[in-house]
Structure 1
């Protein structure tokens, strides 16, 4: 019974030896990354802007091309206007992009990549690469954070939605105005038709009345030889 009473105190002291904590067991991820026992400040990320995206270049492929120079966290490419819509033949067109942003985990790497690759062939020295004749157009954005990009994207989306709503409202008003004019024209046409119908009936009625009224032409009176002497 006394031994059982002493168990909680022993459990409270578990993990301590001579008032010192037992060293924390490193995780598998820390061992693989080689960060065991290392304590330091978190590296600040850096954003690189790419002003031109070659045709058919996808975000994943772009990330693969730049990941050889440093670890990348996120990539965002802006779709070109009308990209992904259906063509005249009914087939859906492939997506194409106009510009993009790449977030490197370390801003020093981002600066280095922008300085190293800007103006260089995207395909490197491989002439077989379909991007051999395309050049990197990269610029490091100092002080720019991914949150700024998401805010800008949200703002553009709101502006686009408001513009679309205004266009839809204007189109709806134009349609209603046209329909009201069409209805008005139909009403006027119907009124004129009724007038013509009524006018035709009056004309027929007057003709019938004229036909029914017998009019005899009067002859001039001949002089009487007896009375006119």
Structure 2
């Protein structure tokens, strides 16, 4: 009887009826456990507690990806990871940092999942697996290299990035100061003029 009723509804409305656990587009809806994890995550991270205390209140999982392609930004990475589990925060290492000295223009990235067990499972399933199966994708032929970081807190990463940015800024300022003082040093100017004369 249920099958006949669904057929009558489809004929009446002209649309197929959605199954249990699916949305109108046929995409699987998040489970009750995922909804509880997301609600708990939002409740803790929207509170006025300090960041260190908030991360203790809700156990999240962080994954390190060591081979993010140059053309993949944080939004693209978050969209891909959201297909597997609910993502909290994403950070992709910028090219301007001094630590961006890897081969083939690969960068590091950190992905925070609201479920610690889900992060462990994703790291095991996706490690050494293709980024995409599409033949026309720009990431074709590339493999994921990721690992789960136990007892890793997000503020460890933010502190490290602040330090690297400060070091990069100090290095840029020191180079600019050396260039500026070079032209005002009479000894350096005489040496430079002698070198120019030798070249002539």
Aligning the two structures, in what range does the TM-score lie when normalised by the shorter sequence?
0.5 to 0.7
Give TM-score scaled by structure 1 length: 0.51
Equivalent in the alignment of 1:121: 130
| Residues 136/178 of structure 1: CA separation in 2 closer, same or farther (3 Å cut) | farther
Q: Secondary structure at the match of 2:147?
A: strand
Picking from 162, 165, 168, the partner of 1:154 is 162
Give the Å deviation of 1:43.
Answer: 3.9
Gaps of at least 5 residues in structure 2 are: 1-34, 41-55, 98-104, 194-200
In 2, are the aligned partners of 1:49 and 1:101 still within 8 Å (CA)?
Answer: yes
Pair member with larger Rg: 1
Equivalent in the alignment of 2:151: 143
Equivalent in the alignment of 1:49: 64
In 2, are the aligned partners of 1:79 and 1:97 still within 8 Å (CA)?
Answer: no
Give the Å deviation of 1:180.
Answer: 8.1
Give TM-score scaled by structure 2 length: 0.58
The structure with more helix, counted as a fraction of residues:
2
Ranges of 4+ aligned residues in structure 1 off by more than 6 Å: none
Is 1:108 the equivalent of 2:117?
yes
User: Partners in 2 of 1:46 and 1:175 — Cα distance?
Assistant: 53
Q: What is the count of residue pairs matched by the alignment?
A: 133
Equivalent in the alignment of 1:131: 139
Equivalent in the alignment of 1:202: none
Give the Å deviation of 1:53.
Answer: 1.4
| Residues 106/42 of structure 1: CA separation in 2 closer, same or farther (3 Å cut) | farther
User: Partners in 1 of 2:84 and 2:58 — Cα distance?
Assistant: 16
User: Partners in 2 of 1:171 and 1:150 — Cα distance?
Assistant: 32
Q: Secondary structure at the match of 1:52?
A: strand
Gaps of at least 5 residues in structure 1 are: 1-32, 83-95, 186-229
Equivalent in the alignment of 2:108: 99
Is 1:66 the equivalent of 2:75?
no
Equivalent in the alignment of 1:76: 91
Give the Å deviation of 1:34.
Answer: 6.4
Equivalent in the alignment of 2:183: 175
User: Partners in 2 of 1:60 and 1:99 — Cα distance?
Assistant: 15
In 1, are the aligned partners of 2:183 and 2:189 still within 8 Å (CA)?
Answer: no
Q: Secondary structure at the match of 1:75?
A: strand
Give the Å deviation of 1:99.
Answer: 1.4
Give the Å deviation of 1:176.
Answer: 0.9
